Amino acid sequence: MAAINRDDVAHLARLAHIEMSAEELDRMAVELAVIVDSVKSVSEAAGEDVPATSHPIPLTNVFREDVVGHTFTAEQALSGAPDAFENRFKVPAILDED
Amino acid sequence: MTELKNELIRHSAADLAAKLAAREVTAVEVTQAHLDRIADVDGQVNAFLHVNSEEALAVAAEVDAARAAGGSAAEELHALAGVPIAVKDLIVTIGQPTTAGSKILEGWHSPYDATVVKKLRAAKMPILGKTNLDEFAMGSSTEHSAYGPTRNPWDLDRIPGGSGGGSAAAVAAFEAPLALGTDTGGSIRQPGAVTGTVGVKPTYGAVSRYGAIAMASSLDQIGPVSRTVLDSALLQEVIGGHDPFDSTSLTDPFNNLVAAARVGNVAGMKIGIIKELHGEGYQTGVENRFNESLQLLKDAGAEIVEVSCPNLKYALGAYYLIMPSEVSSNLAKFDGVRFGLRVLPKDGPMTIERVMGATRAAGFGDEVKRRIILGTYALSAGYYDAYYGSAQKVRTLIQRDFDAAFAQADVLISPTAPTTAFKLGEKLDDPLAMYLNDVATIPANMAGIPGLSLPGGLADEDGLPVGIQLLAPAREDARLYRVGAVLESILEEKWGGPILAKAPDLKNAVLGAVSNTAGGSN
Amino acid sequence: MSVDATLSFEEAMEKYDPVLGFEVHVELNTKTKMFSSAPNVFGDEPNTNVNEVDLGMPGVLPVVNKTAVESSIKIGLALNCKIAETCRFARKNYFYPDTPKNFQTSQYDEPIAYDGYLDIELEDGTVFRVEIERAHMEEDAGKLTHMGGAAGRIQGADYSLVDYNRSGVPLVEIVTKPIEGAGSRAPELAKAYVAAVREIVKNLGVSDAKMERGNVRCDANVSLRPHGRERFGIRSETKNVNSLRAVEHAVRYEIQRHAAVLDSGEPVIQETRHWHEDTRSTTSGRPKSDADDYRYFPEPDLVPVVASREWVEELRATLPEPPAERRKRLKEAWGYSDLEFRDVVNAGVMDSIEETIAAGASADVARKWWMGEIVGRAKVADVDPSELGVTPQVIVELNKLVEDGKINNKMATQVLDGVLAGEGTPAEIVEKRGLAVVSDDGPLLEAIDAALAAQPDVAEKIRGGKVQAIGAIVGGVMKATRGQADAGRVRELILEKLGVEG
Q: Is the pLDDT of residue B486 over 80?
A: yes
Write the residue in B313, B350, B395 that is nearest to A53 by C-beta: B395
Identity at C372, one-letter amino acid code: G
Chain A residue with Cα closest to B398: A53
- What is the average pLDDT across B371-391? 92
Domain that residue C480 falls in:
441-498
Provide the chain C residues 298-327 that lie in CB contact (below 8 A) with chain A.
Answer: 298, 300, 302-306
Does residue B163 have a cis peptide bond before it, meaning omega lies within 30 degrees of 0? Answer: yes
In the sheet with C159-163, reading across from the earlier edge strand, the strands are A84-85, A88-92, C159-163, C143-147
Yes or no, beta carbons of B356 and C61 under 8 Å apart: no
pTM of the model as a whole: 0.88
At B213 the three-state DSSP class reads coil
Query: Which residues neighbour A1 within 8 Å (Cβ) at sequence distance 6 or greater?
Result: A36, A40, A43, B383, B386
Smallest Cα–Cα separation from B153: which of B142, B144, B145?
B142
Residue at a domain's end among C413, C433, C453 = C433
Q: How many CB pairs under 8 A join B and C?
A: 101
Yes or no, beta carbons of C97 and B337 under 8 Å apart: yes
Q: Is the pLDDT of residue C104 over 60?
A: yes
pLDDT for position B5: 64
Q: What is the CA B349 to chain-centroid distance, rounded?
A: 43
Write the pLDDT tens digit of every residue in A38-94: 888 898 898 889 999 989 999 999 999 999 999 999 999 999 999 999 999 999 988
Neighbour-count burial of C412, counting CB atoms closer than 10 A to its CB (0-12 exposed, 13-18 middle, 19+ buried): buried
Note the maximum CA span of chain C. 95
- Selected residue of A20, A26, A35 to mutate for chain B interface (largest B Cβ count, 10 A): A35
Identity at B394, one-letter amino acid code: V
Dihedral angle sign, alpha carbons of residues C417, C422, C426, C427: negative
Highest mean pLDDT among B256-260, C156-160, C413-417: B256-260
CA distance C426 to C418: 8
C176 and C212 within one domain:
yes
Nearest Cα of chain C lies from the Cα of A85 at a distance, in angstroms, of: 7
Q: Is residue C3 part of a domain?
A: no
C293 and C331 within one domain:
no
pLDDT for position B111: 96
Yes or no, beta carbons of A46 and B321 under 8 Å apart: no
C158 and C105 within one domain:
yes
Q: Is residue C308 part of a domain?
A: yes
pLDDT for position B203: 98
- Give contacts of C303 with chain A, Cβ < 8 Å: 55, 58-62
Q: Is the pLDDT of residue B316 over 90?
A: yes
- Selected residue of A4, A36, A39 to mutate for chain B interface (largest B Cβ count, 10 A): A39
Q: Is residue C260 part of a domain?
A: yes
- What is the average pLDDT across C190-218? 95
CA distance B289 to B282: 11
Q: Is the pLDDT of residue B501 over 50?
A: yes
CA distance B210 to B222: 10
Chain C residue with Cα closest to A64: C65
Yes or no, beta carbons of B335 and C52 under 8 Å apart: no
Write the residue in A45, A91, A96 that is nearest to B394 by C-beta: A45
Write the residue in A77, A88, A98 that is nearest to C55 by C-beta: A77
Write the pLDDT tens digit of every residue in B411-455: 999 999 999 999 999 998 888 888 888 999 999 999 999 999 999
Q: Is the pLDDT of residue B519 over 50?
A: no
| CATH number of the domain where residue C466 is located | 1.10.10.410
- What is the average pLDDT across B87-109? 98
> Helix B477-495 vs helix B284-299: angle between axes, to the nearest 10 degrees?
100
Q: How many domains does chain C fold into?
A: 3
C63 and C209 within one domain:
yes
C252 and C142 within one domain:
yes
Q: Between B381 and C394, where is the model more confident?
A: C394
SS (H, E, C) B334-382: CCCCCCCCCCCCCCCCCEHHHHHHHHHHHHCCHHHHHHHHHHHHHHCCC
- Cβ of residue A53 closer than 8 Å to a chain C Cβ: no
C401 and C480 within one domain:
no
C472 and C394 within one domain:
no
Q: Is the pLDDT of residue C430 over 50?
A: yes
Judge whether C118 and C128 are in contact, CB under 8 Å: no
Query: Which residues neighbour C357 within 8 Å (Cβ) at sequence distance 6 or greater?
Result: C334, C363, C366
Q: Is the pLDDT of residue C289 over 60?
A: no
CA distance C51 to C30: 17
User: If pLDDT is split at 50, 70 and 90, which confidence band does B1 have?
Assistant: very low
Length of chain A counted residue by residue:
98
Q: Is residue C476 part of a domain?
A: yes
- Cβ of residue A2 closer than 8 Å to a chain C Cβ: no
User: If pLDDT is split at 50, 70 and 90, which confidence band does C483 have?
Assistant: confident
CA distance B253 to B240: 8
pLDDT for position C291: 58
pLDDT for position C470: 87
C176 and C91 within one domain:
yes
Mean pLDDT estimate for chain C: 91
- What is the average pLDDT across C48-65? 98
Q: Is residue C195 part of a domain?
A: yes
Judge whether C313 and A67 are in contact, CB under 8 Å: no
Residue at a domain's end among C381, C410, C433 = C433
- Give contacts of B244 with chain C, Cβ < 8 Å: 63
Give chains near C: 3+ CB pairs under 8 A. A, B
Write the pLDDT tens digit of every residue in B238-252: 999 999 999 999 999
- Give contacts of B339 with chain C, Cβ < 8 Å: 55, 57-58
Write the pLDDT tens digit of every residue in C366-388: 999 999 999 999 888 888 888 88
Q: Is the pLDDT of residue C151 over 60?
A: no
At C213 the three-state DSSP class reads helix
pLDDT for position A2: 56
pLDDT for position C382: 84
Give chains near B: 3+ CB pairs under 8 A. A, C
Yes or no, beta carbons of B338 and C57 under 8 Å apart: yes
CA distance B305 to B313: 20
User: If pLDDT is split at 50, 70 and 90, which confidence band does C154 have?
Assistant: low
Helix (H) or strand (E) holding B296: helix B284-299
Q: Between C279 and B126, where is the model more confident?
A: B126
- Angle at C72 (CA atoms; ends C67, C78), nearest 5 degrees: 125
In the sheet with B451-458, reading across from the earlier edge strand, the strands are B48-51, B127-131, B85-88, B178-182, B222-226, B198-201, B451-458, B465-471, B411-415, B270-274, B303-307
CA distance C428 to C26: 45
CA distance C216 to C210: 6
C397 and C447 within one domain:
no
Q: Is the pLDDT of residue B290 over 60?
A: yes
Helix (H) or strand (E) holding C21: strand C16-27
Yes or no, beta carbons of B446 and A39 under 8 Å apart: no
pLDDT for position C446: 82
Q: What is the CA C368 to chain-centroid distance, rounded?
A: 23
Dihedral angle sign, alpha carbons of residues C428, C433, C437, C440: positive
- Cα B348 to Cα A96, B345, B354, C302, C379, distances in angstroms: 16, 7, 9, 41, 54
Q: Which residues of B touch C (CB under 8 A)?
A: 91-92, 98, 100, 105, 108, 110-112, 114, 209-214, 216-218, 244-248, 325-326, 328-329, 332-335, 337-339, 352-353, 356, 376, 379-381, 384, 388
- Angle at C187 (CA atoms; ends C182, C191), nearest 5 degrees: 110
Q: Is the pLDDT of residue B517 over 50?
A: no
Judge whether C139 and C105 are in contact, CB under 8 Å: yes
pLDDT for position B518: 40
In the sheet with C127-139, reading across from the earlier edge strand, the strands are C82-83, C113-121, C127-139, C170-176, C16-27, C216-226, C236-241, C271-276, C281-287
Chain B residue with Cα closest to A57: B448
Residue C57, Ramachandran bin (φ over 0: left; ψ between -120 and 50: alpha; else beta) = beta
- Cα C310 to Cα B96, B385, C28, C248, C317, distances in angstroms: 49, 34, 23, 40, 11
pLDDT for position C495: 84
User: If pLDDT is split at 50, 70 and 90, which confidence band does C466 have?
Assistant: confident
pLDDT for position C478: 85
Dihedral angle sign, alpha carbons of residues C427, C373, C210, A90: negative
User: If pLDDT is split at 50, 70 and 90, which confidence band does C452 have?
Assistant: confident
- Give contacts of B368 with chain C, Cβ < 8 Å: none
- Give contacts of A64 with chain C, Cβ < 8 Å: 32, 37, 63-66
- Selected residue of C301, C302, C306 to mutate for chain B interface (largest B Cβ count, 10 A): C301
Residue at a domain's end among C392, C417, C433 = C433
Q: Is residue C356 part of a domain?
A: yes
- Give contacts of B337 with chain C, Cβ < 8 Å: 97, 100, 162
Q: Is the pLDDT of residue B166 over 80?
A: yes
pLDDT for position C287: 64
Nearest Cα of chain C lies from the Cα of B320 at a distance, in angstroms, of: 16
pLDDT for position C460: 86
CA distance C461 to C469: 7
Helix (H) or strand (E) holding B411: strand B411-415
C148 and C120 within one domain:
yes
Provide the chain C residues 111-170 that lie in CB contact (below 8 A) with chain A.
Answer: 144-146, 154, 157-164
Q: Between B465 and C376, where is the model more confident?
A: B465
Write the pLDDT tens digit of every residue in B40-61: 999 999 999 999 999 999 999 9
- Cβ of residue A60 closer than 8 Å to a chain C Cβ: yes
Write the residue in B245, B332, B339 that is nearest to C57 by C-beta: B339
Q: Is residue C231 part of a domain?
A: yes
Positions of B marked active-site: 88, 163, 187
C134 and C80 within one domain:
yes
- Give contacts of B352 with chain C, Cβ < 8 Å: 97, 160
Write the pLDDT tens digit of every residue in C393-402: 999 999 998 8
- Cβ of residue C283 closer than 8 Å to a chain A Cβ: no
Write the pLDDT tens digit of every residue in C299-326: 999 999 999 999 999 999 999 999 888 9
> Helix C470-480 vs helix C456-463: angle between axes, to the nearest 10 degrees?
130
Q: Give the bridge partners for C17, in sequence order.
A: C225
User: If pLDDT is split at 50, 70 and 90, which confidence band does C1 have?
Assistant: very low
Write the residue in C45, C47, C160 that is nearest to A91 by C-beta: C160
Q: Is residue C2 part of a domain?
A: no
Q: Is the pLDDT of residue C440 over 70?
A: no
Q: For the residues of C276-323, what is the DSSP string, one character each? A: ETTTTEEEEEEE--GGG----EE-TTS--EE--HHHHHHHHHTPPPPH
Dihedral angle sign, alpha carbons of residues B60, B62, B63, B69: positive
Neighbour-count burial of C283, counting CB atoms closer than 10 A to its CB (0-12 exposed, 13-18 middle, 19+ buried): middle
- What is the average pLDDT across A34-41? 86
Yes or no, beta carbons of A74 and C47 under 8 Å apart: yes
C312 and C328 within one domain:
no
Chain B residue with Cα closest to A20: B361
In the sheet with C297-298, reading across from the earlier edge strand, the strands are C103-106, C90-93, C297-298
At B517 the three-state DSSP class reads coil
Identity at C335, one-letter amino acid code: G
pLDDT for position B434: 85
Give chains near A: 3+ CB pairs under 8 A. B, C
Give the β-pairing of A88-92 and C170-176. unpaired
CA distance A40 to C214: 47
- Give contacts of B216 with chain C, Cβ < 8 Å: 300
pLDDT for position B514: 42
Q: All domains of chain A, ordered by start, with CATH?
A: 1-44 (1.10.20.60)
